[in-house]
Amino acid sequence: AQHRNMAALSGERWRECLPEHEMIKKLQERLHLESQGTSRRIAKNLTFCLNGDFFIWDNVESVFYTTNLRQINSEEEPDSRYQTLLCINPPLFEVCQVLLSPTQYHVALIGQRGATVLELPQRWGKKSEFEGGRMEINCKTIPVAERFFTSSTSVTLRQAAWFPSETEEPHLVLLTSDNTIRFYNLKEPQTPARVLPVSQSEEETSVHTRGRSYAASLGEIAVAFDFGPLVDVPRQLARQRLSDDLLVYPLYILYENGETFLSYTSLTHTTLGKLLGPLPMYPAAEDNYGYDACAVLCLPCVPNILVIATETGMLYHCVVLEAEEEEDGGSVERWSRGSETVPSLYVFECVELELTLKLPAGEEEDIVESDFTCPIRLHRDPLCQHRYHCTHEAGVHSLGLAWFNKLHKFLQSDEEDKDSLQELAAEQRCIVEHILCTRPLTSSLPAPVRGFWIVSDLSLGATMICITSTYECLLLPLLSSIRPPSPPLLCSRVGTLEGSGNSPLRGLAEDSFEQHIRNILARTSTNPAGDKDTSTPTPECLQLLSRATQVFREEYILKLDLAREEMQRRVKLLTGQKNKQLEDLALCREERKSLREAAERLADKYEDAKYRQEAIMNRMKRVLGSLRNQLPVLSDSEKDMKKELQTINDQLRHLDNTITQVNMKTEYQTKQMDKGLLTPARARITLNAHQRKLHSKLITSLLLLIRLHYKFHSFAPFSKMCPFHTVMRRRCADSSAFHFNPFK
């Protein structure tokens, strides 16, 4: 337990040490040196993480401060060391956003008047620090489109992003206020590799200040863009003699009037890039789903979800549906810039963010609606595809699309009923959490966040890092209710597959009840974390306290009481079911006992029946044998036995004759040997050792055969396996083998 506690403390150490780190304190001390321009009202993003390293940009010194969170989280005593990345050619503009490239080798420094790319130094050493752990490091910087922004003083940079390809050369994509998107290669940063005009009318392609002012008044100015995941070449573009396996990135371009255009982009094929749109939005709305659009985000899930944000705090979750040539072909041709079909956007739901807190004007008066507006930035969540975050001048919101899984199942099915899709949208809404509130009232001073990042390193824990306007580092938990559930372990699946006694209905009931409790505890509003440096008058502070108390009462205490009552009702029901199951279990035990006794009786009867059956079978065999013996005709087996006995008798007679001949030859040889002994005049026969050995073996074999003949002669004709018959078959087949001539 002590080791587990130490591990937990070490896992939380970096969360405690980072807000008190030396580089954070240094930024807080130099806060008064920053410029007091209009950029202080804009929400910025000056932080990012890479392989456990936390980076934060200092606008006063134009440098990056970085420290390793894993080293802070180690069991050793954490230190406040940090490295400083200096720019060889620092940007001349105020940086509002930093973007890490897909290859993670470059960082783009983005401002309203330009863009600069910083090349990250190499790592080496024991702790894999930049340049072995040097405190200050000079980094190469590449100004992008510096000549263009210097010569065009009226043009501002609206948005910048990296081209999402990880295998090609890094390209920086810039959207400027002259309704043009430019692609810049880092090898040629002053000359755009590709230019994509995004003006809605052909007359505006030539640069005219008055034309741009008219377009701005009508809301026909592109304000944001975002890349979607890789897709195949559309059918209308495949006719341009392109390869079928070509993959392109869809580029969604949002205009201030809420219209969305589409362009398919590829770095290898510059012929692509024709502007298509506007994309039709269903169901149709009179105000075209708001105005003052400011941000767009394409969630990388299937199907693609396009999030459109407006400055009034409205968020539209649109499902990108593929185009069909037969469906609505006339209207698409009438509204698009050509005859090509374009995807459509189905507005699944609309969400209104509470930018500033809504307070009641009196005890019995309604909530006063606020007309506060501000630009909103949208951020993807690296841990969950259908979750994203919003940062703005008044704080941070986190949104989770809890209905995405049901929508995915609906689109995979063959249902085409639009009413059921609308019922699905009304059944389960997305989850919105007000994480941080830096401007609780409209009259409060603006305090936009300066940094936002999601730590996706699981060894450090999923954490949201927020840097406030006063460089206070807030580490906040993520929205855990929208996180996808972990898959079951393999060891837990084995018991289910083998039928270990777990009822599938029980698992279904547990899942449904758990989801029911989650639905009860789901909150429609929360109390966000506030900025402690925000100055608020006393009466409004009392209203804020009343609101927080009301939210706690309605969204926490009352829902917890409902959940407790539901759980008590469930416990009562389960207790009754348990008692009924205990009664059924007692009955089952009695039935098992009676069945066991019946089984014993049946076993005895079975043994008795088996014994009687064997006795009857033996009697039947004897009866059949006697019947067979009384038949006048021999059977086939008896005929074969008779034939074999006759053959054995003939062979024995032959062997008897052979033995008689052997005996006669033995007598003859004995007489001859006796004559030789009596007649000394004859020459003696001398045998060598080999001949004596052969003669000895022969005589021994003859004697053995004779002994076997007299032993088995009485019953050999009736024995099928007679040893004498076997030996004689092997050795006495040829009678000449026993002929012996000593004079040869």
Nearest by Cα to 253 from 187, 199, 194: 199
- In the predicted structure, residue 499 carries a pLDDT above the cut 50: no
pLDDT for the residue 741:
44
pLDDT in tens, 16-68: 888 989 999 999 998 888 876 656 678 899 999 998 899 999 999 999 999 98
Instruction: With cut-offs at 50, 70 and 90, classify the pLDDT of residue 525.
Output: low
601 within a domain of the structure (yes/no): yes
Contacts for 246 with CB less than 8 Å, ≥ 6 apart: 232, 233, 266, 269
Over range 259-276, report the average pLDDT.
Answer: 84
Q: Are 162 and 171 in contact (CB under 8 A)?
A: yes
pTM of the model: 0.68
Residue ranges making up the domain that contains 586: 540-606
- In the predicted structure, residue 678 carries a pLDDT above the cut 50: yes
**Minimum mean pLDDT range among 122-136, 315-329, 485-499, 592-606:** 485-499
Per-residue burial over 191-202, b = 16 or more CB atoms within 10 Å of its CB, e = otherwise: ebbbebbbbbee
Question: What distance in Å separates the CA atoms of residue 264 and residue 490, rounded to the nearest whole number?
Answer: 43
pLDDT for the residue 76:
63
Instruction: With cut-offs at 50, 70 and 90, classify the pLDDT of residue 247.
Output: confident
Per-residue burial over 35-58, b = 16 or more CB atoms within 10 Å of its CB, e = otherwise: eeeebbebbbbbbbbeebbbbbbb
737 within a domain of the structure (yes/no): no
Specify the higher pLDDT residue, 346 or 513.
346
578 within a domain of the structure (yes/no): yes
Question: What distance in Å separates the CA atoms of residue 580 and residue 554, rounded to the nearest whole number?
Answer: 38
pLDDT for the residue 42:
81
pLDDT for the residue 150:
92
Over range 64-91, report the average pLDDT.
Answer: 85
Tokens 């069945």 correspond to: 595
Over range 440-464, report the average pLDDT.
Answer: 85
- In the predicted structure, residue 544 carries a pLDDT above the cut 80: no
CA-to-CA separations, 407 to 299, 420, 483, 561, in angstroms, rounded: 14, 11, 16, 31
125 within a domain of the structure (yes/no): no
pLDDT for the residue 5:
47
156 within a domain of the structure (yes/no): no
Q: Are 391 and 436 in contact (CB under 8 A)?
A: no
- In the predicted structure, residue 186 carries a pLDDT above the cut 80: yes
Highest mean predicted confidence (pLDDT) among 214-228, 323-337, 350-364, 693-707: 693-707
- In the predicted structure, residue 206 carries a pLDDT above the cut 50: no
pLDDT for the residue 99:
95
Over range 6-25, report the average pLDDT.
Answer: 75
- In the predicted structure, residue 742 carries a pLDDT above the cut 70: no
- In the predicted structure, residue 106 carries a pLDDT above the cut 90: yes
Across the strands, what pairs with 48? 55
Residue 313, amino acid: G
pLDDT for the residue 214:
52
- Total structural domains within the chain: 1
pLDDT for the residue 688:
83
Instruction: With cut-offs at 50, 70 and 90, classify the pLDDT of residue 201.
Output: low
590 within a domain of the structure (yes/no): yes
568 within a domain of the structure (yes/no): yes
% the chain with pLDDT above 90: 36
pLDDT in tens, 414-427: 666 656 666 676 66
- In the predicted structure, residue 330 carries a pLDDT above the cut 60: no
Question: What distance in Å separates the CA atoms of residue 170 and residue 389, rounded to the nearest whole number?
Answer: 26
Q: Are 39 and 429 in contact (CB under 8 A)?
A: no
| Max Cα–Cα distance, the chain, nearest Å | 165
DSSP assignments along 521-564, one per residue: H--S----EE-TT----HHHHHHHHHHHHHHIIIIIIHHHHHHH
Which strands make up the sheet holding 395-400, listed edge to edge? Answer: 376-380, 387-392, 395-400, 431-437, 529-530
pLDDT for the residue 743:
37
Task: Quote the mean pLDDT of the chain.
Answer: 79
646 within a domain of the structure (yes/no): no
